[in-house]
Amino acid sequence: MVDVSWWAHGEPEILYAGGGVFLAKITGFANIIASFDGITWHNAGYCVGAQNAMTTGAYDVSRGSGVVSWWYNQTPIYYSFDSLTERTEWPLASGGGVPIFRYLTTHKGQFVGVVGGDRSIAAASSSSPTLWNTTIPEDSYNSRYMFIRSVNGKLFVMRWRYVNNTYHVRLCVLNDSATQLTETNLSHVGDLADNRIANPQNIIWMEAWGKFALFNESMLYVSDDGVTWEGVEQPGFTTTTYDTFGGAIYVPGDGFYVKASGFVYYAPY
């Protein structure tokens, strides 16, 4: 059990994990906490004047640059180039055109995110986190996006469209500049809360295999390029109705861990 004194002031919530860095918020406070191992946590900064809820964040280890997004009606991005081990003020990105984000990730020197409302994708250089450009605009199909993630040099996002009272969901791959989408062969038609959907949160890179792996309902899929996937059935690997897996990791020499609601699946490997 990790004992962090600040957590008495509010429930911690992980906003970003990648490149050996964890960013988290303390519910009810404008404080950002950070860790490099998940055990020792540092008071990494605070956002003056922030309102409502901190929704997501990202960090580029190569540049020592971080961002967090807040859900409110003014410029919502705060950023930092300071050490994550010291409590410093994160400046507010000034000027117009800075979006609210629902999801953020770090990809090859950029911050890339799904803009609030889920209808578009925007990106900024991690060296200039105040200058954001829309890379995938809203389209006439009313496309929505969720769970954007960079995994081993590939940028994945889940896209869904609501057609004839039914959700049409597909796993997609973005190019490095996040300007073009490529559809994968994994799709689902039905309810949006369905674990048969290919969720980018459940993608990992298996270095020993030289492949991406993806977990969903009773299946393990693998892919060389992130676009074409082949599946192997996993009987009993399931959740209850309207529940979904919420993340997967592989620990070398130990095995796979896949999060469900209230429990974790484990498979030694």
d(CA 83, CA 66): 10
Tokens of 200: 């980018």
* Interval 192-212 mean pLDDT: 95
Q: Which among 214, 223, 221 has a CA at the least distance from the CA of 250? A: 214
Has residue 266 got a pLDDT over 80?
A: yes
**What is the share, in percent, of the chain residues with pLDDT greater than 90?**
80
pLDDT, tens digit, 9 for 90 and up, residues 81-98: 999 999 999 999 976 678
Has residue 6 got a pLDDT over 90?
A: no
* 215 contact partners, CB below 8 Å, separation of at least 6: 202, 221, 234, 237, 245, 248, 256, 258
d(CA 92, CA 130): 9
pLDDT, tens digit, 9 for 90 and up, residues 122-157: 999 999 999 999 999 999 999 999 999 999 999 999
